[in-house]
Chains A and B, each alone.
Chain A
Amino acid sequence: MPTYQLKVNGTSKTVDVSEDTPVLWVLRDHMELVGTKYGCGIGQCGACTIHVDGTAMRSCSLTLSQVEGKSITTIEGLSEDGSHPVQEAWKEVDVPQCGYCQAGQIMTASAFLESNPNPTEDEVKNAMHGNICRCASYTRIKTAVMKAAENME
């Protein structure tokens, strides 16, 4: 099997996996980074969202060759101690119900706020529309993203 050099959360790692393995499963099964979740496998739900060079992407639909040489950030590496403003806002608003989709929500929100630090409510809704929350904690997700934007100012 081919080897790939990946830079994940600031650390370089070599993985030896078949070329069609989606980045999601490399993170989960080969690197023990299980914060990135499997939801649909076809880029429709957003549970597996990670940052690739700062852009939110669906890791279930990314191949290794697409991310080699790029900087990957997962929920585990978003901050050292869970203190990223989006994580803090999630705690303050107490967003999660089951919690399964929330890492993906947080990764989408944090990348979005990097590119748009002062969003309107409609812009937040648009940005978060691709992430499904089956418990429907949408009201709190929206509130938390707005709050994170305020706190990042």
Chain B
Amino acid sequence: MSSNKTNALSRRAFLRNSSLAGGGMIIGFNLLNSCKPKVVAEPTIDLASLDYNDFNAFIKIAENGAVTIFSPNPEIGQGVKTSMPMIIAEELDVAWKDVYVEQGILDTENYTRQVAGGSQSIRHGWDALRETGAKAKHMLVSAAAARWGVDPSECSVSEGVITNAAGETLGYGDVVNEAALLEVPEKVELKKPRDYKIMGKNAGNVDIDKITTGKPLFGLDYKTDGMVYAAVVRPPSFGHKLVSFDDSEARNMPGVIDVVTIGEKVRSLLAEDPSFSSKISSSDKVVVIAKTTWQAFKAKDAIKATWEEETPMESTEQHNKILTDLLDGSKFNTMRSDGNIKKAFAEADQVLERTYESPFLPHNCMEPMNFYANVTSEKVHLVGPIQTPAWKAGLVAKMLGREEKDILLEMTRMGGGFGRRLYGDFVIEAAEISQTINKPVKVVYTREDDMEDGIYRMAIKYRIKAGIKDGKVTAYHLKEAAVNDNMYGLIPNFFPAGAIENYQVDVASYKSNITTGAWRAPYTNFLAFAEQSFFDELAEMMEVDKIQLRLDLLDKVKPEDDERIQYSPDRMKEVIKMAVEKSGWGTKPSNVYQGFVNYYCHNTHVAEVADVEIENGSPVVKKITCVVDCGIVVNPLGAMNQIEGGVIDGVGHSMFGELAFEDGKPTANNFDRYRLIRMKEAPVVETYLMENEYSPTGLGEPTLPPAGGAVANALKAATGNRLYVQPFTKTPELLKVPEKEIIG
């Protein structure tokens, strides 16, 4: 008998009667929590008082052997609703085809980090999810062994069936009731990667049937009885504040229930939590409440609002000047400084200095922002697409003066996130509206609202300067000038930190009234292009091989001597070598122009090679070869999808993405004037995953940043023109191919 066995029903092993169609008893293990050792008194559990919400992060197993696994993190298209349960199922040792996956709700007591952001779900969940599965398996095997009167070590498991030395078998469902009474083991042995049966094999998206048949899945599809729709009249420009409005026409329109103003609660929240002020306007807003979405949209257009300029209206022209002035100035914060760049530049034989420029970008999730709220005296029910449910539940509780336990937040599948749904200003809005009208309500943004009232990728300029002495790179100075916020603290420790003796990263920012925030691969989404274009140009100036320059620099990096260094030079060199081989680097016919990039961000190492060909006199991005080291790959089918999407997204935004501002307002507000990459512009993406046994890292972001650099370097090869400004289509004269190339 195993020593961790007990007949006492503990808080960590619940048992309840089930009404599931499968019948019989179902257990829910408080498993993720059980991974965190906890000393608690063991009260007697009143079985009758337990309802579904008392269970935590879990596996549910029915007497008939059916297994349900809850996926804790929000799904934005990055595939975690498939891959996180795969990790649990692997260690639980059940057949993947028998697993039913459900989205977990927000549960801060029992899950940790229910966030979709930073490409961290799999990396952070890796140990806890594996232990969750393994501990449940251990309890099930122990229960079977006890029934047989044998030692658990004599039992083996395959696809949810336990077999003893005599060849007798018991299914998980047969012993689930006994297993539920066992103490959760403190420590269990985890599988070796070579023994994986589910991980490393292709698994299709768990929601594929619903997606392909149009079943309700997304926030916009969510509906309850009595729910009304809200469309919000927002300040027309950043800096505007509501003065007054005339709603007489709107009130008489079909389906209109009410017209109200909101803003007071948001302002009180901002007074308490100023950190959110760069994410939401503090102006009053006019809200039209109607029976249907279209009626709300129509009536919103009929509101005649008067606005006043509270803070100055800004423009792209002005930002360009401000950012250049910041780069030219001396007001920087130094984020990392090695050696003495000043001295090294003074002693250098050659110096290269270049400036790179990027615009604001909207996220343009295909599902416009929306959220459901029903604020009642009993509870606050919030439902919809949100990347940071815990943060938003906390802010709503604070804003409404409620306890966090009063908030029930359910995450729907999201029609894209890309960082926009980290902020959840729309959750706060929905809650204030529901409180004001005392009804269940769904706030729906029009596409125009979505693009004009964004929390954008900010405009940034980088200036990079390198010094060469005796044929070696001896100094490197990266300066960032950005609207609102500067790069996060890890970035100065990415490549080429550690590779160059005299190295410095300086940042400066300008505070704008335009709301900005994270956008898929924050900062690196543009920095990678700047840095990797720069290294290409540096190699040209030094008259050395472009790949060799990068490999030589990596040779100098010693992470063992500098714990700040984030990347692995060895893993980086491996992806570079693989990309050279797989892309046919240097061996292509003369009509194929290639551009090379290697990059590290979000704990993943990537190398990309772009192939550009000339068609009808214009350069066309035909193919990107992408090599990725993200450690163990949980679901190759999903991983490849993320990689392909990230690369094409990176190509698209570097080629076409731009949101300019005039008079405090974006000059585009829908897809007629804002260009996203489409089918015909999408290159072929050829993907290679490094095979190793490192713990897995993220894939939602890291393949995007290098794509712009690979394209720019290939375009330079094709046209002879170096690109310094994104989007590349902004300077069409630089995308022209010299006459001789067309003829020849």
Contacts and interface: CB of A to CB of B under 8 A. Distances in A.
A72 interface: no
A23 to B, nearest CB: 11
B586 to A, nearest CB: 26
B104 interface: no
Nearest to B215: A35
A139 B684 contact: yes
B211 interface: yes
Nearest to A122: B680
Contacts of A82: 209, 212-213
Contacts of B78: 97
Contact of A25 (B218, B292, B364): B292
Contact of B208 (A22, A45, A90): A90
A99 to B, nearest CB: 4
A74 B214 contact: yes
A40 B447 contact: yes
Contact of B644 (A47, A131, A139): A139
A112 to B, nearest CB: 12
A133 B676 CA distance: 9
A111 B644 CA distance: 26
Contact of B685 (A32, A34, A139): A139
A32 B641 CA distance: 31
Residue from A30, A39, A98, A133 whose CB has the most chain B CB atoms within 10 Å: A98
A143 B208 CA distance: 16
B298 A87 contact: no
A33 B215 CA distance: 8
A124 to B, nearest CB: 8
* Chain A interface, >50% SS class: loop
A44 B685 CA distance: 25
Contacts of A91: 204, 208-209, 212
B679 A94 contact: no
A137 B214 CA distance: 18
Interface string A112-128: 00000000000001101
Contacts of A33: 214
B220 A87 contact: no
Between A21, A78, A133, A139, the greatest number of chain B beta carbons within 10 A of the residue's beta carbon is seen for A139
B368 to A, nearest CB: 7
B683 to A, nearest CB: 9
A98 B416 contact: yes
Interface string A2-41: 0000000000000000101110010011101111111111
B213 A134 contact: no
B416 A42 contact: no
A30 B213 contact: no
B680 A94 contact: no
Interface in A26-68: 28-30, 32-42, 44-45, 47
Contacts of B211: 90, 96, 99, 102-103
A134 B250 CA distance: 34
B679 A97 contact: no
Most chain-A Cβ atoms within 10 A of its Cβ — which of B207, B649, B671, B685? Answer: B671
B677 A136 contact: yes
Interface residues of B, number: 63
Interface in B19-49: none
B659 to A, nearest CB: 15
B444 to A, nearest CB: 8
B220 A37 contact: yes
A20 B679 CA distance: 32
Nearest to B649: A136
A106 B682 CA distance: 18
Contacts of B559: none
Nearest to A145: B679
Interface residues of A, number: 58
B679 A140 contact: no
A29 B293 contact: yes
A132 B671 contact: yes
A38 B368 contact: yes
Interface string B269-302: 0000000000000000000000011110010000
Contacts of B648: 136, 138-139
Contacts of B637: 94
A142 interface: yes
B216 interface: yes
A58 to B, nearest CB: 12
A106 B240 CA distance: 42
Interface in B401-418: 413-418
A141 interface: yes
Given A82-B213, A97-B641, A99-B211, 16 more contacts: A37-B218, A37-B220, A76-B214, A82-B212, A87-B212, A96-B212, A97-B78, A98-B367, A99-B207, A100-B366, A100-B415, A132-B676, A134-B416, A136-B644, A137-B641, A138-B677
30 contacts: A1-B254, A18-B295, A30-B292, A33-B214, A34-B214, A34-B220, A35-B215, A36-B214, A37-B366, A39-B366, A39-B367, A42-B672, A47-B366, A76-B213, A96-B212, A97-B641, A98-B77, A99-B217, A100-B365, A103-B212, A125-B680, A129-B679, A131-B679, A135-B649, A136-B646, A136-B648, A136-B652, A136-B682, A139-B644, A140-B644
Interface of A: 1, 18, 20-22, 25, 28-30, 32-42, 44-45, 47, 74-76, 78, 82, 87, 90-91, 94, 96-103, 106, 125-126, 128-142
